[in-house]
């Protein structure tokens, strides 16, 4: 019987080809549309993942910037306290403040031991101690008025853990120049200079500060004391990172007065505070930028997600309309061709009846052909659909490898169910014609002659 089916197909090959083509086109469309939809879904996942990574990367970058701004703020404030004095200055009583402010010269002295005494006390409101001598002198070798500063490294405070020093000490035999001094004298780093008959090497040139520091020179404390005839004497003790802001300054003054009688405390902080606040503002701006980056990143993600969801929904809706339409049209075409085939074969069916063939054989002849049309059309259509998938999908988007995309999109299952669907469709579409064939009264056909 199967041989008869094949012979009949061969005889009416164009009708078979037309039906198979219709089924193949439907299968290709269904497989292709399903595959492209899956591809779009994969693409959406990839785009969202990439955008997520981009956003997270941007947020990480902003977090780094915030952290860097915070660290810079901390470091800057710490150093500014050194140079500009978010700190207190401990001076001997009776200092002429006019001279102090006019030319940074302290008129009175106090023992160097005060610094050690303070360091050995149980004071809690002071973190760093820098004893110094400061005097305006004439640098006779260069005929230039300068402020000579003698300083040393920080004196460790006995009851505290050792802290990171805020200022490196000037090593004996070396000199640090203010920027204006360097510019006037055209001195270079490493150059030997003579100061009041002593030889020094220029070890550092301070950047321009716009203050009396620009006309200052720093040398080792002991050398300065000798040079100024102030052995074991100092002019001031700079106490840094004091917890002396606001209304606690009076407590600090009282605490120091108790330890170092005959001294007075002044505070220097306003400019440092301004800069610190600027840095704080900078950090706050960075934090706001971070929050904005997060917000914008999330908004971008949501926008892309919404756009892709809309696109997918539109494509899904198109598929929901297109696929049933194509199936119905294909069903109609196959049914029409099957019915035409039945009309062509009426005489043959009558003969088969006369030759003793039963209804099941005639039904088998029609439905067997339908299964062949569905199976072949489905297979060819899926092959064409794979072609569409490769050309229109991977060729255009190139988001994944062929095998990855195939497995990710579960196309194997689609490639199986589409031909099965096509077989079912052709069987259903051919059923009416097959039913007509088995219901046909062979006697009427044979009598018709």
Partner 1 sequence: MLLCLDGLNKTYSNSATQVQALSNVSLRLDEGEFVAVQGPSGCGKSTLLLTTGTMLEPDSGSVSLCGKAPYAMPGNVRAAFRAKHVGFIFQQFHLVPYLNVFENVQAASLGISPPDRASSSRVERLLEQFGLTNRKTHYPSQLSMGERQRCCIARALLNQPKLLLADEPSGSLDESNAETVLQELRRFSQNGGSVLFVTHDPKAAQSADRIVRMDGGVLTS
Identify which of residues 358 and 387 has a Cβ nearer to partner 1 in the complex: 358
Rounded to a whole number of angstroms, the minimum distance from the CB of residue 17 to partner 1 is 15
The torsion region of residue 229 among left (phi > 0), alpha (psi -120 to 50) and beta comes to left
Identify which of residues 161 and 355 has a Cβ nearer to partner 1 in the complex: 355
| Phi (first) and psi of residue 357, to 5 degrees | -80, 140
Angle at 332 between CA 331 and CA 335, to 5 degrees: 85
Rounded to a whole number of angstroms, the minimum distance from the CB of residue 409 to partner 1 is 43
Identify which of residues 99 and 343 has a Cβ nearer to partner 1 in the complex: 343
Residues that bind partner 1 (CB under 8 A): 1, 4, 7-8, 10-12, 347-348, 350-361, 441-443, 446-447, 449
Identify which of residues 318 and 443 has a Cβ nearer to partner 1 in the complex: 443
In a 3-state reduction of DSSP, which class is residue 429?
helix
Rounded to a whole number of angstroms, the minimum distance from the CB of residue 340 to partner 1 is 15
CB count in 10 Å sphere of residue 183 = 13
Rounded to a whole number of angstroms, the minimum distance from the CB of residue 373 to partner 1 is 17
Identify which of residues 172 and 358 has a Cβ nearer to partner 1 in the complex: 358
Identify which of residues 13 and 159 has a Cβ nearer to partner 1 in the complex: 13
CB count in 10 Å sphere of residue 195 = 20
Q: How far is CA 293 from the centre of its chain?
A: 9
Exposure pattern of 90-122 as b/e (b: 16+ CB <10 Å)?
bbbeebeeeebeeebbbebbbebebbeebbebe
Rounded to a whole number of angstroms, the minimum distance from the CB of residue 347 to partner 1 is 6
Strands 198-205 and 174-177: parallel
In 21-162, beta strands by DSSP E: 87-92, 110-111, 128-139, 144-151
Rounded to a whole number of angstroms, the minimum distance from the CB of residue 352 to partner 1 is 7
Give the tokens for residue 85.
Answer: 């004095």
């Amino acid at each position: 019987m199967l041989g008869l089916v094949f012979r009949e197909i061969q005889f009416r090959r164009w009708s078979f080809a037309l039906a198979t083509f219709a089924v193949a086109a439907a299968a290709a469309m269904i497989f292709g549309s399903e595959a492209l939809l899956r591809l779009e879904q994969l693409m959406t996942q990839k785009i969202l993942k990439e955008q997520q990574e981009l956003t997270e990367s941007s947020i990480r970058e902003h977090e780094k910037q915030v952290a860097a701004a915070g660290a810079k703020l901390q470091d800057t404030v710490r150093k500014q306290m050194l140079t500009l004095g978010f700190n207190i200055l401990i001076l001997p009583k009776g200092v002429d403040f006019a001279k102090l402010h006019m030319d940074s010269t302290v008129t009175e002295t106090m023992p160097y031991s005060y610094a050690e005494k303070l360091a050995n006390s149980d004071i809690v409101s002071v973190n760093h101690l820098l004893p110094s001598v400061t005097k305006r002198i004439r640098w006779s070798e260069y005929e230039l008025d300068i402020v000579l500063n003698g300083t040393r490294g920080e004196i460790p405070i006995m009851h505290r853990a050792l802290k990171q020093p805020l200022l490196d000490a000037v090593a004996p035999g070396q000199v640090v120049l203010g920027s204006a001094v360097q510019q006037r004298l055209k001195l270079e780093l490493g150059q030997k200079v003579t100061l009041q008959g002593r030889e020094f090497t220029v070890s550092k040139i301070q950047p321009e500060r716009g203050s009396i520091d620009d006309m200052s020179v720093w040398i080792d404390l002991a050398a300065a004391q000798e040079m100024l005839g102030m052995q074991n004497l100092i002019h001031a003790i700079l106490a840094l990172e004091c917890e002396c802001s606001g209304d606690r300054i009076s407590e600090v003054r009282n605490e120091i007065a108790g330890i170092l009688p005959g001294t007075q405390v002044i505070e220097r902080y306003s400019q440092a505070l301004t800069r610190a606040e600027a840095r704080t503002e900078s950090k706050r701006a960075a934090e706001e930028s971070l929050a904005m980056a997060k917000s914008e990143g999330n908004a971008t993600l949501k926008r892309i997600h919404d756009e892709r969801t809309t696109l997918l929904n539109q494509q899904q809706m198109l598929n929901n309309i297109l696929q049933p339409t194509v199936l119905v049209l294909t069903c109609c075409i196959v049914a029409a061709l099957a019915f035409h085939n039945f009309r062509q074969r009426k005489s043959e069916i009558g003969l088969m009846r006369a030759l003793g063939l039963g209804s099941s054989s005639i039904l088998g002849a029609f439905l067997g052909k339908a299964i062949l049309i569905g199976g072949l059309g489905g297979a060819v259509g899926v092959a064409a659909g794979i072609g569409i998938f490769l050309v229109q999908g991977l060729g255009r988007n190139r988001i994944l490898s062929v095998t990855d995309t195939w497995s990710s999109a579960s196309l194997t299952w689609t490639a199986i169910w589409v031909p099965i669907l096509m077989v079912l469709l052709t069987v259903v579409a051919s059923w009416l014609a097959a039913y007509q064939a088995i219901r046909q009264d062979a006697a009427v056909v044979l009598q018709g002659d």
